[in-house]
Amino acid sequence: MQKMGFLGLGIMGLPMARNLMRTGCELRVWNRTPGKCEPLATAGAVVCDDPAEVCAASDITFAMLADPKAARAVFTGAVAGLGRGHDYVDMSTVDPGTSRELAAAAAKQEARFLEAPVSGSQKPAMDGTLVIMAAGDRSLYEDAAGALDAMGKKAVFLGEVGNAARMKLVVNMIMGGMMTAFGEGLALAGRGGLDREVLLEVLAAGALANPMFAVKGPAVLRGEFVPAFPLKHMQKDLRLALQTGDELAQPLPTAAAANAAFIAARQAGLGDLDFSAVCRIFTGS
């Protein structure tokens, strides 16, 4: 029986770990706030006292953490448990530099490392239909295939560490820009006396139709922002995408404007709501 570990049981990590358990593996888990381990403990997972204990007892440990700071902090606590046959897959959304640092530290322990950030929110995480972008050790990617298959509907291997982090940031930069454009559109429609429900219908019927507007649109109109993807994490992704653009001398003026709107939303106290709450910056409701 494969022995697997999972660190970070937030909105995404908990359902991903649950799907991992469905492969029939023995699962060990750890989360900074221990109470979040309870649903998995009830389902048969072993709760560990620290990340190193998880890694030392697992063939492969997966991590799903908030941001680069959290990914680094947890990895630092995990690294003593890594070694030959005790490998690490970081699925958090971080910048390429952070990923490379973790990969180098894992290599010092003779452990294999894979970065594997995901596209798709809470519902795809629950349904096991995430899109997984992986890069790093190819043999670990192959050995983790069953686990990745349980968590996602598609996985792509992108070569050297940093490429998957970069791909993920590109995807979320586009998503952040789409959401701010959507918010501005809703605001302008409302300001001009148009029925915003009809705007949603028109968007859904044409070339701009997409699942994000279809799912988030009605909730935005109702003023409901239950966090599937917390706004603070979206702003982190825009910040990291802009940082990457800066490093590569790639101008990203639209992403910079979107980032400013998300910062304003954080300043307005909306950081823990769903990222669609950025629309409130424009609609005021």
Active site residues: 168
Q: Does 228 bind ligand NAP (CB under 6 A)?
A: yes
Distance between start and end Cα atoms, the chain: 52
Q: Does 271 bind ligand NAP (CB under 6 A)?
A: no
Q: Which of 3, 11, 57, 254 binds ligand NAP (CB under 6 A)?
A: 11
Q: Quote the CA–CA distance of 64 and 103 in Å, as a whole number.
A: 16
Residue 21 CB, nearest distance to ligand NAP (Å)? 17
Binders of ligand NAP in range 62-81 (CB under 6 A): 64-67, 69-70, 73-74
Q: Please, which residue, 199 or 217, has the CB nearer to ligand NAP?
A: 217
Count H helices, E strands: the chain?
A: 14, 9
Nearest CA-CA partner of 262 in 226, 237, 227, 245: 237
Which stretches of 37-113 are DSSP H helices? 38-42, 51-56, 68-78, 96-108
Residue-wise burial string across 188-206, b where 16 or more C-beta atoms lie within 10 A, e elsewhere: ebbeeeeebeebbeebeee
Which sign does the torsion angle of CA 230, 231, 233, 238 carry? positive
The span of 181-189, 192-200, 228-236, 239-247 binding ligand NAP (CB under 6 A) equals 228-236
Residue 13 CB, nearest distance to ligand NAP (Å)? 5
Residue 74 CB, nearest distance to ligand NAP (Å)? 5
Residue 195 CB, nearest distance to ligand NAP (Å)? 30
Q: Does 61 bind ligand NAP (CB under 6 A)?
A: no
Q: Which of 92, 109, 163, 283 binds ligand NAP (CB under 6 A)?
A: 92
* DSSP result, 132-195: EEEEE-HHHHHHTHHHHHHHEEEEEE-SSTTHHHHHHHHHHHHHHHHHHHHHHHHHHHHHTT--
Q: Does 98 bind ligand NAP (CB under 6 A)?
A: no
Instruction: Report the phi/psi class of residue 21: left, alpha or beta, with left for phi > 0 and alpha for psi in -120 to 50.
Output: alpha
Single-letter amino acid code for the residue at 170:
V
Return the biggest CA–CA distance within the chain.
Answer: 64
Nearest residue to ligand NAP, scored by beta-carbon proximity: 10
Tokens of 263: 């910062």
Q: Please, which residue, 33 or 284, has the CB nearer to ligand NAP?
A: 33
CA angle 40, 132, 232 (to 5 degrees): 75
Q: Please, which residue, 275 or 282, has the CB nearer to ligand NAP?
A: 275
Around Cβ 9, how many Cβ atoms within 10 Å? 26
Q: Please, which residue, 187 or 273, has the CB nearer to ligand NAP?
A: 273
Q: Does 93 bind ligand NAP (CB under 6 A)?
A: yes
Q: Does 265 bind ligand NAP (CB under 6 A)?
A: no
Q: Does 10 bind ligand NAP (CB under 6 A)?
A: yes
The span of 151-159, 210-218, 226-234, 241-249 binding ligand NAP (CB under 6 A) equals 226-234
Site of interaction with ligand NAP (CB under 6 A): 8-13, 31-33, 36, 64-67, 69-70, 73-74, 92-93, 118, 121-122, 228-230, 233, 237
